[in-house]
Structure 1
Amino acid sequence: MSAPHATLLADASSSAFQNASANRPAPAARSACFHCGQPVPAGQVLAEEMDGQRRVFCCGGCQTLARTLHSSGFAHLYGDEARFARPIDDAARRESEPVWAAYDTPELRSQFVRLLDGGRAEITLAPENIRCAACAWLIEQHLGRLPGVESTIANVATRRVVVRWRDAEQTVSALLAALADIGYVAWPFEVSRSDQADRRARRSLLMRMAVAMLGMMQVMMYAWPIYTHEATIDPGMLQLMRWASLALTLPVVFYSASPIFSGAWRSLRQRHMGMDVPVAIGVAAGFVASTVATVRGAGEVYFDSVTMFVAFLLAARYLELRVRQASRSGAEMLARQLPATCERLSVEGSAPERVPVARLQCGDRIRVRAGEIIPADGTIVSGASELDESMLTGESRPVHRSVGDIALAGCYNTASPLEIAVARVGAGTRLAEIVAVLDRALAEKPHLAALADRVAAWFVATLLALAAMTGVVWALWIDPSRALLVTVAVLVVSCPCALSLATPAALAAAGAALSRRGLLLTRSHALETLARVTDVVLDKTGTLTEGCFALTGQQTLGPMPAAQCLTLAAAMEAGSEHPIGRALVSAAGSAGADIGGVSMATVRNVPGQGVEAEIHGKRFRLGRAAFVAGIRSANGEEQIKEADTASGPGATQVWLGGEAGMLAVFALSDKARESTPQLLEALSRYGARCHLVSGDSVETVQWWASRFGMAHAVGAVSPEGKREYVAKLQREGAVVLAVGDGINDAPVLAQAQVSIAIGSGAPLAQAGADAVLTHGNVAEIAQALALARQTRRVVRQNLGWAFFYNVVAIPLAATGVVTAWMAGIGMSVSSLLVVANAWRLLRAGRNGV
């Protein structure tokens, strides 16, 4: 549902609606309108007797609506607990009219309005505060009176309103304005193609299942007396009951079971033994034999078995369909929540305009208010706010974003207005890249699923041969009258539905669970390979660490206090885009320093050396030791040596000094991700060996390895050296998971059996890894290993159950112990158990493993 489409309208009217609901007087009060609760204008007398009481109104419209509602039996809705929302006020209307007008543009009309024959149009609207049948009736009556409107259907359950009108006589904005006039905030609702297909599939399967269930119950009503009192029933009545059972079975076979027959025919045309083939043969054989017996008036009929089998089979398939649809990625859901319009800021002096998102171009500036969703990727140029990126990155808490930070399409602005310079739109956004990656993954068939399909194909061929042998044995040597029934039971009971569902159901559920946690599988084999991982090769910068500088130490060398030194250094770097400068400014901001209070006369940047500034007539330098010492410090070298001995491995030193000497030295280094200890601890618990392989100096890598408690670490390794390191592990029998940033680690990611790229830096569409982590919580990598192993256990459980069921059930059916209707129940229950077992992985993904 595209709720952000009407954010401005909702914001404008919500307060008015809440005030009207909270402060409305009792029905008998004369100072407020009985219908909408607005004050009655002084001197105006519009009153009418209703329910034995005198009611006053603010206008003739409210009076007419109230009179109509009372005459239609909705008078109870005027109690103290329930009232209608009043129309939005003039200020809110002026603010909302540009939003409504945007839906009349060609871009949005093509997206939301469905053109019909005869110059007619249709649209689905989503009113925000529709609550009951009276609301639906009021909307239908009000919109139905508009010029050109042919029909209006309001559904309370779905909170949707479908309006059909003559296109030349009405506009979308007029419909939205008309709803606002009676207090219903609404916006156009777009049902995506996948949603439409899902809905059609569910409705079709549900209708077929309902027909089969009804047919099964009715046929059993006729079959039960035959089973229990056949000898006492008049032959004529018995034959009539058989004809009635045939009539009731016809819609079950030709309507409910039609997908089974079409699937079987498709499999046979492709020379592939699918699981529909034995089912179709069993249903057809049972129905034809029963029909022949009914026409002849002699022989056994199996209408009850046929209808029961079809009903239970469709019930299992309906549950499977719901699981498959529930396993869809959250990224597709998010893509449908992008706003249809946005507020574009024009050139200076021009008023902002509300335009369709489809018109945005790179370089445009847009304003995103609190409560709206960002429509395109860009850079924040004004304002600061908290962005909810949970649907995009998996990060559950809103993150702070300010000037210079990246804002991604699909993120929800929770706090304050932002102005954003658009950088990427449409298919170029990070969200579109995520959807493309998922589409690529879904297009490939996992090895386990393909193997299961091949096994099922051989199983079906074996089953058909076994069923034929069973029929021949019963017809020639045991009991010819039961040969057909036993053969049908063998075909039904051994249907490989559970076998074919065992693997894909588990893989789909696990993939959906991982995507909700921000880990997107881009290769079909990733999940099954993750379950076998023995060694994990990790990069340092950008993987175990943030990949950005942070102030990790400060040493004062002169009379100036440490806080003042930090403030001065940050002021000299204010506005700098260099990572060191940003780290100093961030550290000063965290310490509460006021860098804006430092007045500098001149600032000179010396490339590769540092910054020189003049403050109150004195010169200061910030940068390399030699550059700062060159400001004519007498004891500069001694102080440099002293600070060097205090520096830790991997730290970058930034010096601050003046004409009187050195003032301070700052140590900046990369900082570890907060989730790195959790990742390493979990991997160790799961028995995976961790290796730190980095291109940094040997001393730096060893220092970080000691800090992380990693026993295997090598430094100063080239990209080719990283690949050889992984190849050596593989030659020793290891299954390697490589984790890196996806760019400079491309060789090692390609060499490993499975790889994960941290997707915060590289475009996801270019990531060559088997999976992409869309956020910085690397602990999810360990969760992925755990979920992959659980998925492997679930697949084995499902396959074990499917084979055990068939090993037990087929002999029972072949010996006549299990009848056809029992076989239908057994096959359906088997499939239900497999799907329900796979469904547990969805819950594991939500709650952690």
Structure 2
Amino acid sequence: MAERCFHCGDPVPAGDRRVVRIDGEDRPVCCAGCEAVAGLIAGSGLTDFYRYRTAPSSRPEPEADEWSAYDRETLLDEVSHPVGEHTREAVFALEGITCAACAWLIERVLEREPGVETVQVNPATGRLLLGWDTTVATLSTLLRHLAGIGYRAHPLEAGEAIPGIIRERRAMLRRLAVAGLGMMQVMMYAVGLYAGAIHNDMDPQIEAFLRLVSLLVATPVVVYAGAPFFRGAWRDVRGGRPGMDVPVALAVGSAFAASVWNTLVAGGEVYFDSATMFVFFLTVARSLEMAARHRAGRTTESLAQTLPTTALRLTEDRPERVALRELQPGDRVRVRPGDTIPADGTVVSGRSAVDESLITGEFEPVPRGAGDAVLAGSGNTGGVLDIRVERIGRQTLVSAIVGLLERAQTRRPRLARVADRVAGWFVSAVLVGTAVIAGVWWWLEPGAAFEITLAVLVATCPCALSLATPTALVASTSALARRGLLVTRTDAVEGLARASRLILDKTGTLTTGTPGIRRIRVAGRIGRDEAYALAAALEAHSEHPIAGAFPPGEHLPRAGEVTVEPGAGLAGNVDGRAVRLGRPGWALPEGTTAPAGGIVLADGDGWLATFELADQLRPEAVPAIQALQARGLTVEIASGDDPAAVAEVAAAVGVDDWRARMRPEDKLARMCEAQSAGERVVMVGDGINDAPVLAGADVSVAMGRGSALARNSADMVLMRDDLSALVEAADGARRAVRIIRENLIWAALYNLTALPLAATGMLTPWMAAVGMSLSSLVVVGNALRANRWRAPRFGPDGHDPAAIPTATP
């Protein structure tokens, strides 16, 4: 078995053994970069890092002075802000951080740098807060040193350092804590008061004490945690459009005010438990809405790591590092191997292979040479490219994709608009009905009017209705999370249960996104095993993605004098035989031929073997797709890849409806076409090119290993990276919807029963409060059933005899 690098975990190339002495033992490393980083860590006395880390570290990038641009005043002002006369601070998103040990290492290394005043790393969010004295240290030096130990820093804008969403989230958590703790305490006191009222034997002093303590505990719940409901109600009233906050504020405010009056003056019934329960349960629902809203707005942060911050601009004198915003159409930039192309443009000189998979969905890196167009956000995997800039900023394709994403996210689904109208009618009906009942009783018996009106408000308060959906969704999303599917927008559960069409991307979704050998054809002079060994020996010296299709074996021959021809292939000497591996026109000797298709292995005498490569189909793809089809979903494939590759995958998984060479706008148009026909569409994808259609779909699912932009645009993320989780999600969603229907029916029956009883005076406020509490408990208890269901079993035909029937719209 091949040795693994002690620092980054990559295979150690044969014939190039390097070691670093750590804690008295020689540890193998794979390259000069890992050797330098491991030596730095050991020499600095920080070897505890290796003891406590939970995953291999990132391989340090080859030295390229991309950091000098951070000393330019324009870029420095953009990424940092002054906090003193000579001190500045900046916040960075860290790439390569995997655990708390990484955070510890970064802090220890940077703390030893002269001029560094503040270093704080949050391993959970991957954020670095860096403060330094500009008279002693430069930002480029610090970032260069950070990259030298394997961690790249991407600057966040100053406004993102302490975003408003964090403040809103913290305020929501404080309100939730106050409401939850207060509600539990008040409910404990209410049990005693209810028991005393039923048996009529409570000591008056104890009753007064419990009332007073309930008042003290309920006050911060109503005044602090319930403040958003009162502000929202006031805003709705001023705007002339009553929303759900109006009856909630009336019920909470009336119950609390009457309870305060009866506690301090009149001695009647108190309803502190009802008021605190209203506030707590409705605050839980609001917190779920807030989380979904925040999730929808994280596009900028995802895009920050797609485009580079700087570019190497070519001038008449010498190349210079400049901020990305300083580029202008007509400039020439140089993109080195491993760098990201900063702008749309045309190659002026050089040849390379460019990875456009995140933008176009193309699986294999495509060759690019002089005269070819390249896209911002693409990765240069081969040689050096000199590019003439043509489009920058918002004019680039990747920015256009983000524009499509933002436009799709602003579309309000039809069901949401219907729900808004229904909510308005419901609130108006409740307010009008309560006013009529209050007027009738004021005319019939003024002394009972307030108590009956309050009973009506409590009985019709939409507590159980508001809990019916969120509690079942929370329970079901928790169960899905345990099965590897993270739900980022809870309304996606209902959408998935009602979905009729499933649209899948190909690359990285139905396939693994990594190349594999589908077939080896040999000329007859050598066998398949020998051909593979020769190719793997050459690819062991390559960092091209295709090298992943040739993992080194235990008895791999050694390759020497290996040279890489960007966009063409590799040449070297393996066991005394000069061989070439790559494109046929380059690898084959002049005057010789080879069968078409794949990459060619050849020596001086001609063709030796052809390796046909293909993106590997996920092992669970076929049974998962068949199981989804068995559950009533129509499945289709929409990919940006080549038609032949898409057709092959579609045939393998049993999908008849497929489309190839689709751009982001094509996918979005296809989805809108299906929606216009009345279909409810689930979209599954993984690339940046999938982000707009993911945002516009009724339900969107992103692969966990896909692009950050796709994940942030999705309603669900497959963290298990397994398509069978989709089947579990479909069954879990249908079960959750069934439970939601049961909850809504129960809540509606309670309100329909309680309203006439309260309106006729047969239901007192405390009875209405008890009924409301029991109704809420029934809803919550029923909702918890969504947290428990067995994972579906499906065989080769995709059927599960015990599967939950398809939900009807």
Question: Is the contact between residue 530 and residue 789 of structure 1 (CA under 8 Å) also seen in structure 2?
Answer: no
Verify: 1:292 aligned to 2:261, yes or no: yes
Decide which of 134, 139, 161 is 1:173's aligned counterpart. 139
Alignment-derived partner of residue 312 in structure 1: 281
Instruction: List alignment gaps of at least 5 residues for structure 1.
Output: 1-7, 25-35, 37-79, 84-91, 564-584, 599-610, 624-646, 653-662, 694-699, 713-736
2:476–2:733 Cα contact (<8 Å) kept: yes
CA distance in 2: counterparts of 1:131 and 1:690, whole angstroms: 44
Could you say which residue in structure 2 is the equivalent of 1:253? 222
Q: Distance in 1 between matches of 2:732 and 2:767?
A: 34
1:275 and 1:495 in contact (8 A); partners too: no
Could you tell me which residue of structure 1 aligns to residue 743 of structure 2? Answer: 801
Task: Describe the SS at the equivalent of 1:200.
Answer: helix
Letter in 2 for 1:256: A
The alpha-carbon deviation at position 288 of structure 1 amounts to 1.9
- Are 1:404 and 2:368 an aligned pair? yes
Task: Name the residue aligned to 1:364.
Answer: 333
The structural deviation recorded for 1:279 is: 1.0
| Cross-structure match for 1:109 | 76
Q: Which amino acid aligns with 1:531?
A: A
Deviation at 1:213, TM superposition (A): 3.4
Q: Is the 8 A contact 1:740 1:757 kept in 2?
A: no
- Name the counterpart of 2:772: 823
Distance, in Å, in 2 between the alignment partners of 1:234 and 1:773 is 60
Q: Assess, with a 3 A threshold, how the Cα gap between structure 1 residues 469 and 232 changes in structure 2: closer, same or farther.
A: same
Which residue pairs with 1:731 in the alignment? none
- The 2-side partners of 1:759 and 1:137 are apart by 37
Partners of 2:352 and 2:383 within 8 A in 1: yes
3-state SS in 1 of match to 2:461? helix
Contact 2:434–2:456 (CA under 8 A) maintained in structure 1:
yes
Shift of residue 446 of structure 1?
Answer: 0.9
Aligned mates of 2:351, 2:299 — CA distance in 1: 27
Rounded Cα–Cα distance in structure 2 between residues aligned with 1:18 and 1:138? 13
What is the aligned counterpart of 1:463 among 430, 440, 444?
A: 430
Output the CA distance in 2 between the equivalents of 1:832 and 1:412: 52
Instruction: Provide the identity percentage.
Output: 25
Q: Deviations over 1:189-220 (max 9, x none)?
A: 65765982331221111112223334445555
CA contact (8 A) 1:342 1:367 kept: no
Is residue 357–residue 375 contact of structure 1 (8 Å, CA) maintained in 2?
A: yes
User: What's 2:500 paired with?
Assistant: 532
Distance 1:407 1:348, change over 3 A: same
Normalized against structure 2, the TM-score is what?
A: 0.55
> What does 1:130-279 correspond to in 2, within 5 Å?
173=139, 176=142, 193=160, 196-216=163-183, 219=186, 226-227=193-194, 242=211, 245-279=214-248
Is it true that 1:335 corresponds to 2:303 in the alignment? yes
> Distance between the aligned counterparts of 1:673 and 1:185, measured in 2?
30
Sort the Cα spacing of 1:279 and 1:179 in 2 relative to 1 into closer, same or farther, 3 A: farther
How far did residue 173 of structure 1 move?
2.2
Residue number among 420, 435, 441 corresponding to 2:408 in the alignment: 441
Rg comparison, structure with higher value = 1
Which SS does the other structure have where 2:368 is aligned? coil
SS of structure 2 residue aligned to 1:462? helix
Contact 1:392 1:411 in 2 (8 A): yes
Query: Residues 798 and 837 of structure 1 are in contact (CA less than 8 Å); yes or no, is this contact kept in structure 2?
Result: no
2:413 maps to amino acid: P
1:17 to 30, 41, 52: 41
Q: Secondary structure at the match of 1:365?
A: strand
Q: Deviations over 1:87-118 (max 9, x none)?
A: xxxxx99979x666543434433443245799
Taking the aligned partners of 2:150 and 2:505, their CA distance within structure 1 comes to 55
The CA deviation at 1:527 is 6.7
User: Alignment partner of 2:312: what SS?
Assistant: strand
How far apart, CA to CA, are the structure 1 residues paired with 2:350 and 2:781?
Answer: 55
Amino acid at match of 1:310: V
CA distance in 1, matches of 2:248, 2:52: 55
- 1:282 Cα deviation (Å)? 0.5
Secondary structure of the residue aligned to 1:451 is helix
Change (3 A) 1:333 1:158: closer
**Letter of the structure 2 residue corresponding to residue 337 of structure 1:** Q
Q: Which amino acid aligns with 1:258?
A: A
- Note the C-alpha offset of 1:281: 1.1
In structure 2, what is the equivalent of residue 491 of structure 1?
A: 460
Q: CA offset at residue 260 of structure 1?
A: 0.8
Residue in 2 aligned with 1:568?
A: none
CA drift of 1:119 comes to 9.7
Q: 1:263 to 1:446 in 2, by over 3 A?
A: same
What CA distance in whole angstroms lies between the structure 2 residues aligned with 1:374 and 1:672? 24
> Structure 2: how far apart are the matches of 1:250 and 1:118?
46
1:294, 1:681 → 2: CA distance?
65
- Matched AA of 1:365: R
Task: Identify the range of structure 1 (13-22 vs 282-291) with the bigger mean alpha-carbon deviation.
Answer: 13-22
Cα distance change, pair 192–741 in 1 and its aligned pair in 2 (3 A): farther
* Matching residue of 1:344: 312
Q: Quick one: distance in 1 between partners of 2:180 and 2:782? A: 20
2:270 to 301, 304, 308: 301
Aligned-pair CA distance for 1:284: 1.1
Distance 1:529 1:22, change over 3 A: closer
> CA offset at residue 300 of structure 1?
2.4
Counterpart amino acid of residue 772 in structure 2: A
Q: Is the 8 A contact 2:156 2:301 kept in 1?
A: no
Over aligned residues, Cα RMSD in angstroms?
Answer: 7.9
Mapped to 2, the partners of 1:706 and 1:234 lie a distance apart of 77
Cα drift, residue 286 of structure 1: 0.8
Gaps of 5+ in 2: 1-31, 54-59, 529-566, 598-605, 639-643, 707-720, 804-809
Q: 1:319 to 1:18 in 2, by over 3 A?
A: farther
- Kept in 2: contact 1:691–1:711 (CA 8 A): yes
- How far apart are the structure 2 equivalents of 1:682 and 1:258? 48
C-alpha displacement at 1:408, in angstroms?
Answer: 7.0
Q: 1:156 and 1:562 mapped to 2: Cα distance?
A: 50
Q: Give 1:788 deviation, angstroms.
A: 7.7
Aligned to 1:344, the other structure's residue is in SS state strand
- The size of the alignment, in residue pairs, is 658
Distance 1:257 1:767, change over 3 A: closer
SS, match of residue 76 in structure 2: helix
AA aligned to 2:312 is R
Q: Residue 173 of structure 1 aligns to which amino acid in structure 2?
A: L
Give the deviation of 1:224 after TM superposition. 5.8
Q: Can you list the C-alpha shifts for 1:238-287, whole angstroms capped at 9, x where unaligned? A: 65765554454443323211111222233334443422222111011112
Matches within 5 A, 1:436-835: 436-467=403-434, 482-494=451-463, 496-498=465-467, 531-533=499-501, 685=630, 739=659, 741-742=661-662, 753=677, 794-795=736-737, 797-808=739-750, 811-812=753-754, 814=758, 815=763, 819-820=768-769, 823=772, 826-827=775-776, 830=779
Question: CA offset at residue 805 of structure 1?
Answer: 2.4
CA contact (8 A) 2:262 2:270 kept: yes
1:116-142 Cα offsets, whole Å, 9 max, x none, are: 799985444689798799999999999
**Partner amino acid for 2:461?**
V
Assess, with a 3 A threshold, how the Cα gap between structure 1 residues 346 and 215 changes in structure 2: closer, same or farther. Answer: same
Q: Is the partner of 1:103 in helix, strand or coil?
A: helix
